[in-house]
Structure 1
Amino acid sequence: MFIVKLFRKQIIYHYHNKGVSENKDWLHRKLYQFQFKNSKAILLSPLLYNEISEYITKKDTFFCANGIPEIDNIKQSFATKENKKVKIMFLSNLIESKGVMILLEACTILKKKQLNFQCSFIGAEGDIKQFQLNSKINELEISNHVSYLGSKYGSSKFNELNITDIFVHPTYNDCFPLVLIEAMQHSLPIVSTYEGAIPELVSEGVNGYLVPTKNTRALAEKLEILIKNSELRHKMGINGRNKYEKEFTINKFENRLLQILKDNVESVP
């Protein structure tokens, strides 16, 4: 970066995370001022502009939502998901800020209401270890409804998505979670939060529900609605699939990014 600035070349930063706005100390602000001076930026969503608004004007900021490749063997048959426990999936590393403990508490509410569901946690250990998760599950007496399946990748992950009914992501520290696009790709209704750019992915009441962060009761209420209503799950899942095809395929992403670069990169003399 320093060498590029010495030669006065145009710099366009492509940001895929958050954190700039949280660093308010003198040193960080001076470094950001130097970094962003006479530069432009690409963000994943307009909802993330406040991250860099102190350093880059809106006219020098461009927005390019991520996309993911299509995959084969996605199960489209809704009928195959009938007449069984409603399967809820959490797909992320076991990190507290992803809402792991909040979801466990929500599951206790669902259990008390005698709802027919099974919630699976899939992901590697993070700041929450497997023994801690299992200990909490046992403490809350929800082992008949909640299980940890470990890490799954590739076809094994896609197989789990294929047999899932509801995708849940109660995060309170996120930017633009690709797992939500994967859920949409698999025609799954989503229950998530208003964190980061998630409202660009999940349209309230259309392809899922959004709840305030760290609100266990609101999370349980939305999950209950979907557990009880298979037709609504199907409708929201189809809406999510359509949204994926319209906005979040890898081709859509590449075309957006290419157009931004064409419009903004200075021509070589």
Structure 2
Amino acid sequence: MKKTKLLFITPFPPPFGGIAILSQSILNAGLKDCFDVITINTSKKALREKIDSVRFSGILNSFKNYLKLIKACHSNRDAKYAYITGTSNWAILRDFLYLIILKFYNIEILFNLHGTRKLEQSNGLIKWVSQKAMAYSTYILSPTRVDFEAAKKLSNRPAKVKLFYNATNLSVPVEPKYKNLLNAKEDVTLIGIGRLSDAKGAYDLIPLVIQLIDKGHPIKLIWIGRGAYEADDKWASDLINKQSAKTQNRIHLLKDLTEEEKFNYLQQADLFVLPTKNDNLPVSILEAMACGLPVISTYMGAIPEVIIPNKNGWLINHSNTSELKSGILNALKQKDKFPDMGKQNTEDFNRIYNAVNRVNELVAMITNSPN
């Protein structure tokens, strides 16, 4: 049987941001087994992606992507569906033109739209364009329940808004350890993954861990990820170099790891910590869950929908180093709970956050498309 064609318009790694990893995960989780997938990679393919700025290279990249999409639509006149990722911020102005091109070719749109929870307080133009984009779409896919509820209120047809959690497809086999840390003097390894930036909470976490180590707490920290800017990497390097040799040996800042290396570090760690200040549902949290780690994170986006305090982790308010300190120390006092929390996270990952589930949802939506 001939497969239905699906245009897949989204960034792919590099850079290794959450949306890019989500997109690659869905593709790797069997999407090509279900559809004839035509990918349009909208990434600039740069290892280091500058954020929070508009640059000529970004504008040029957008125009190249518009031309790629027009060519793909023209070459695949029998394509009926397109999956596209976007965000309800200034980027929606760029993404909206993708939707116009798709509508011109009468292609139904499944729009994975992040950030609709912020639309009521957004710039009027962003809100207007976002609502137009939702109106053009056959389905709006929301990565969090709060985004889902906000999108339903703003959509011209609430029934087409679907909850579509971030997910990942593990690129390497993992075997959760569920370690018992019964020795009070045994080191506890904390691990965080993401941009080494203030937005991910690294500027709060790293100095705090240094303080705790200096006070004699038996902890280590591994952070995996480049800075959003070169200045972030320099800040962290300068900070670590000022510390004693003992402290330096307990803090490891890693970048450009292979997937195998990343998951090896995750499986050897004891507690995942990501005090993020601006996220929907970080893929790194899902990866930590798959590896059987309890999680400390913040009340951001869908994180409270995933991490339930004292069940599979702990939550704190972002940008609050006092709460972060209390959260880590509280977790250290409850090391006996780590194995059960880790098992709960592995179970939740397999049941909900494995990318195979998102592929099945896409198949169901396209099969039952109202058009």
TM-score bracket for the superposition, by shorter chain length? 0.7 to 0.9
C-alpha separation in 2, matches of 1:209 and 1:144: 27
What is the deviation of 1:146? Answer: 2.4
Using the TM superposition, name which of 197-206 and 79-88 deviates more.
Answer: 79-88
Deviation (angstroms), 1:41: 0.6
Distance 1:170 1:131 in 2: 20
Tell me if 1:14 matches 2:112. Answer: yes
Selected match of 1:65 from 150, 154, 165: 165
1:11, 1:31 → 2: CA distance? 16
Of 118, 126, 145, 1:46 maps to 145
Name structure 1 gaps, 5 residues minimum: none
User: How many Å separate the matches in 2 of 1:69 and 1:3?
Assistant: 30
Q: Identity over aligned residues, as a percent?
A: 22
1:240/1:136 Cα in 2 relative to 1: closer, same or farther (>3 Å)?
A: same
Question: How far has the Cα of 1:108 moved from its partner?
Answer: 4.2
Alignment partner of 1:31 is 2:129: yes
Aligned 8 A contact 1:62 1:260 in 2: no
More deviation, 24-33/158-167: 24-33
Name the CA shift for 1:108/1:4 in 2 (closer, same or farther; >3 Å).
closer
Q: In structure 1, which of residues 162, 165, 170 is the aligned counterpart of residue 267 of structure 2?
A: 162
* Aligned equivalents of 2:299, 2:368: Cα separation in 1: 31
- Give unmatched runs, 5+ long, in structure 2: 1-98
Q: Which residue of 2 aligns with 1:230?
A: 335
Name the residue aligned to 2:21.
Answer: none
Instruction: After TM superposition, list the pairs within 5 Å mapping 1:81-230 onto structure 2.
Output: 84-111=186-213, 113-127=215-229, 128-138=231-241, 142-230=247-335
221-230 or 95-104: bigger deviation: 221-230
Q: How many Å separate the matches in 1 of 2:284 and 2:295?
A: 10
Q: TM-score, normalised by structure 1?
A: 0.85
Counterpart-to-counterpart distance in 2, 1:140 and 1:53: 51
Q: Is the 8 A contact 1:207 1:236 kept in 2?
A: yes
How far apart in 2 are the matches of 1:189 and 1:33?
Answer: 38
Change (3 A) 1:25 1:162: closer
Is the Cα–Cα contact under 8 Å of residues 178 and 343 in structure 2 kept in the other structure?
no
Deviation at 1:92, TM superposition (A): 1.0
- Counterpart in 2 of 1:262? 367
RMSD between aligned alpha carbons?
A: 2.8
Counterpart amino acid of residue 122 in structure 1: I
Cα distance in 2 for residues equivalent to 1:69 and 1:237: 18
Structure 1 pair 24/65, CA: closer, same or farther in 2 (3 Å)? closer
Q: Distance in 1 between matches of 2:243 and 2:114?
A: 36
Opposite residue 60 of structure 1, the aligned amino acid is K
Alpha-carbon distance between aligned partners in 1 of 2:129 and 2:301, rounded to the nearest angstrom: 24
Question: Which whole-Å CA distance do the structure 1 matches of 2:243 and 2:303 have between them?
Answer: 29
TM-score (norm 2): 0.63
Alpha-carbon displacement from aligned partner over 1:214-268 (angstroms, at most 9, x marks no partner): 11111111211222333111121111111112111222222223223333342xx
Larger RCO, structure (CA 8 Å, separation 6 or more) = 1
Q: Which residue identity is paired with 1:107?
A: V
| Alpha-carbon distance between aligned partners in 1 of 2:188 and 2:175, rounded to the nearest angstrom | 16
CA distance in 2, matches of 1:10, 1:114: 59
Partners of 1:81 and 1:151 in 2: how far apart? Answer: 30
Q: Which residue of 1 aligns with 2:352?
A: 247
Equivalent residue of 1:96, what SS? coil
State the SS of the aligned residue for 1:252: helix
Query: Aligned equivalents of 2:349 and 2:133: distance in 1?
Result: 34
Name the count of aligned residue pairs. 266
